[in-house]
């Protein structure tokens, strides 16, 4: 039985100092079923969503506001940027919309076989 994987790299500018950071994504194939998966190991350390049983959402909002990268006061300092070869400003703005790269990216929407 052979376990196969392929590692691909994805680049972004991390919000800490907006320096280039490379995420390694593993494509794995199950030798028994042929099922494919993508794994970004750093995703395990990402912020978690509020639990569905929390009664007072205002308490959750205030508790998480400091590190919330979607809150308006944090979006410029806490969200990653695209490398300049992709977007010269780092983020794409259209009206009130703002597009920035996923901090825990996966390179393709469909796994490619190793």
pLDDT tens readout for residues 63-102:
888 878 888 888 999 899 999 999 999 999 999 999 999 8
Mean per-residue pLDDT of the chain: 82
Q: Examine the pLDDT at 113 and tell me if it is beyond 60.
A: no
C-alpha torsion angle, residues 16, 17, 18, 21 (rounded to 10): -70
Percent of the chain with pLDDT over 70: 82
Tell which residue, 18, 6, 2, has the closest CA to residue 100.
Answer: 18
């Amino acid at each position: 039985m052979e376990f196969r994987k392929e590692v691909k790299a994805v680049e972004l500018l991390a919000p800490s100092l907006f320096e280039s950071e490379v995420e390694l994504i593993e494509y794995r194939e199950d030798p028994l079923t042929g099922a494919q998966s993508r794994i970004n190991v750093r995703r395990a350390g990402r912020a978690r969503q509020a639990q569905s049983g929390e009664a007072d959402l205002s308490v959750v909002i205030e508790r998480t506001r400091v590190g919330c990268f979607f809150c308006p006061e944090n979006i410029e300092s806490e969200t990653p940027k695209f490398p300049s070869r992709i977007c010269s400003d780092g983020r794409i703005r259209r009206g009130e919309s703002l597009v920035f790269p996923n901090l825990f990216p996966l390179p393709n929407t469909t796994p490619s076989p190793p």
